[in-house]
């Protein structure tokens, strides 16, 4: 049964979320049939800024949204969720309008679900790309890996080089997020060529899957080699949100057992495209952070 709002929307306060809201955020995900992803919320509520609306009926949170700021040129919006019992009453629009006010002229990016896209269209976001989610168990082949890079587990000494590489591919420095990667991810692999790190990828847990992201590589061979190396580190099925322009990688992953499932639409407001080098950017860290 949908809950009705006791007072006008404009009166409902939007407050900052803190790590103490983590369980309420996870409950909201569960309410919408999403994985609870407490580990991801932990990252988002420390590296980003969470916005929430308390349920006037006293049942935890009614709505959430997180913005991860990457300086004056980019901030990523994610985890816009409204509890099912309050659906289609303008709550998401109200929360997004407060978020847009707060972020002024900073260009914003997001990965929209089919449910979210109509709202973002109305708020002025434009479509700049698409990701294809693939899921399944990666089946390694018998042939020797293609490409010149060799794949290794990342060490603490690699972090500086990873950040340097990532800044070029992502388009802006995200040290505050990547510094948390060793605690967030279960496995990190780097690709080396001529003693230089040319790619990297991480694997983090979500429900009963392991998500590949970020996936940064100079070419398809290296991207696939990173996925293959990460798949060898887990018995769980993999999930990855691959930039749909990387059709070569998507074809190869499908041949190896990672099948297409849902898609998201990449949208921006205040920028004509995402910064950085999409050719090296195969998958975001999470669709909530870019």
Ligand X SMILES: CC(C)(COP(=O)(O)OP(=O)(O)OC[C@H]1O[C@@H](n2cnc3c(N)ncnc32)[C@H](O)[C@@H]1OP(=O)(O)O)[C@@H](O)C(=O)NCCC(=O)NCCS
Binding-site ranges for ligand X (CB under 6 A): 32, 80-82, 87-93, 112-113, 115-116, 118-119, 122
Nearest alpha carbon to residue 76 among 210, 271, 231: 271
Closest approach of ligand X to the CB of residue 66, in Å: 11
Residue closer to ligand X (CB basis): 9 or 193: 9
Closest approach of ligand X to the CB of residue 110, in Å: 6
Closest approach of ligand X to the CB of residue 276, in Å: 21
Residue closer to ligand X (CB basis): 128 or 233: 128
Give the 3-state secondary structure of residue 116.
coil
Cβ–Cβ contacts within 10 Å for residue 11, how many? Answer: 9
How far lies 190's CA from each of 116, 124, 164, 198, 234, in Å?
Answer: 34, 38, 13, 8, 17
Residue closer to ligand X (CB basis): 222 or 268: 268
Closest approach of ligand X to the CB of residue 76, in Å: 11
CB within 8 Å of 279: residues ≥ 6 apart: none
Distance CA 283, CA 260 (A): 14
How far lies 63's CA from each of 19, 24, 175, 247, 262, in Å?
Answer: 16, 10, 28, 35, 23
Closest approach of ligand X to the CB of residue 32, in Å: 4
Closest approach of ligand X to the CB of residue 82, in Å: 4
Give phi and psi for 83, each to the nearest 5. Answer: -55, 140
Residue closer to ligand X (CB basis): 93 or 152: 93
Residue closer to ligand X (CB basis): 87 or 127: 87
Closest approach of ligand X to the CB of residue 199, in Å: 28
Residue closer to ligand X (CB basis): 72 or 90: 90
How far lies 127's CA from each of 131, 186, 247, in Å?
Answer: 12, 32, 19
Residue closer to ligand X (CB basis): 62 or 197: 62
Give phi and psi for 2, each to the nearest 5. Answer: -65, 140
The answer to whether residues 76 and 60 touch, using CB atoms and an 8 Å cutoff, is no
């Amino acid at each position: 049964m949908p809950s009705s709002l006791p007072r006008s929307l404009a009166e409902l306060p939007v407050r900052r979320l803190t790590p103490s809201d983590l369980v309420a955020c996870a409950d909201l995900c569960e309410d919408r049939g999403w994985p609870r992803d407490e580990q991801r919320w932990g990252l988002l509520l420390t590296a980003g800024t969470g916005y929430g609306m308390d349920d006037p009926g006293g049942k935890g949170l009614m709505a959430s949204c997180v913005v991860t700021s990457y300086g004056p040129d980019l901030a990523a919006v994610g985890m816009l969720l409204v509890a099912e019992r309050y659906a289609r009453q303008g709550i998401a629009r109200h929360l997004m309008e407060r978020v847009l006010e707060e972020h002024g002229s900073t260009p914003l990016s997001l990965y929209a679900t089919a449910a979210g896209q109509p709202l973002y269209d109305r708020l002025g976001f434009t479509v700049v790309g698409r990701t294809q989610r693939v899921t399944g168990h990666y089946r390694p082949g018998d042939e020797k890996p293609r490409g010149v890079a060799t794949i290794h587990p990342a060490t603490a000494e690699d972090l500086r080089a990873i950040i340097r590489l990532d800044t070029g591919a992502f388009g802006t420095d995200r040290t505050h997020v990547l510094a948390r990667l060793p605690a967030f991810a279960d496995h990190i692999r780097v690709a080396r060529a001529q003693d230089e790190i040319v790619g990297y990828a991480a694997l983090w847990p979500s429900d009963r899957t392991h998500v590949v992201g970020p996936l940064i590589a100079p070419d398809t061979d290296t991207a696939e080699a990173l996925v293959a190396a990460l798949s060898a580190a887990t018995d769980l099925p993999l999930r990855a949100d691959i930039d749909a322009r990387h059709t070569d990688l998507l074809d190869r992953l499908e041949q190896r057992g990672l099948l297409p499932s849902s898609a998201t639409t990449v949208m921006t407001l205040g920028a004509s495209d995402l910064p950085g080098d999409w050719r090296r950017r195969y998958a975001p860290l999470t669709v909530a952070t870019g």
